[in-house]
Amino acid sequence: MLERFRRFWTSLLAPVADGLLRAGVSPDAVTLVGTLGVCAGALGFFPRGQLWLGVLVVTAFVFSDLIDGYMARRSGHSSRWGAWLDSTLDRIGDAAVFGGLVLWFSGDGDDRVLAALALWCLVMGSVTSYARAKAESLGMQATGGIAERADRLVAVLVMTFFSDVLDLEILLALTLWVLAAASAVTVVQRALSVRRQSLASS
């Protein structure tokens, strides 16, 4: 479902991406600006309790993740550097989203349990990505799982928005509990996958 979502928005934003290419803007610049925007939205608004506003800002810049890839393919300038930069900055953006929630719940949000859950989601998200990257560096695969990056990001942004607009913190609380568990399961799934591949090749 999320892949169809990605294809839809990529085609919708294609004219914008083409316009940026004609203006001489590089895909790497879009990647960098998008990450800075995500960090500004999450760390500038979430800690102050302006959750719905932060989500709108973050969402606006998240679309850069669709545009930069399209621009790189369209211009024929796809490179290992661009792929590395995009993947690395994605980790920073994701950390800013969950880090902003950690700051809110450990401050005026006054809920240490939810702060700990948000921190756990942040850490497990990074471990999930690292598990895949390390496996690939060893010639194996560690993809899939019940909570991949797109799933985690869409879930936390949507529920953060509605929990604030509807004044129902329970929506975000439940989402963090589910993501905390699902992220841990995903890490285990990838570890088992790598273990099976390692045994099969030995």
Query: Which residues are CB-neighbours of 189 under 8 A, at least 6 positions away?
Result: 144, 145, 146
Place of tokens 């294809």: 7
Which of 65, 90, 94, 164 does the annotation list as catalytic? 90
* Residue 65 a catalytic site member: no
Is residue 113 packed enough to be buried (19+ CB in 10 Å), middle (13-18) or exposed (0-12)?
A: exposed
Size of the chain in residues: 202
**Alpha carbon distance 11, 13 (integer Å):** 6
Tokens of 47: 């800690």
> How far from the centroid of its chain's Cα atoms is residue 92's Cα?
9
List, by residue number, the catalytic residues.
90
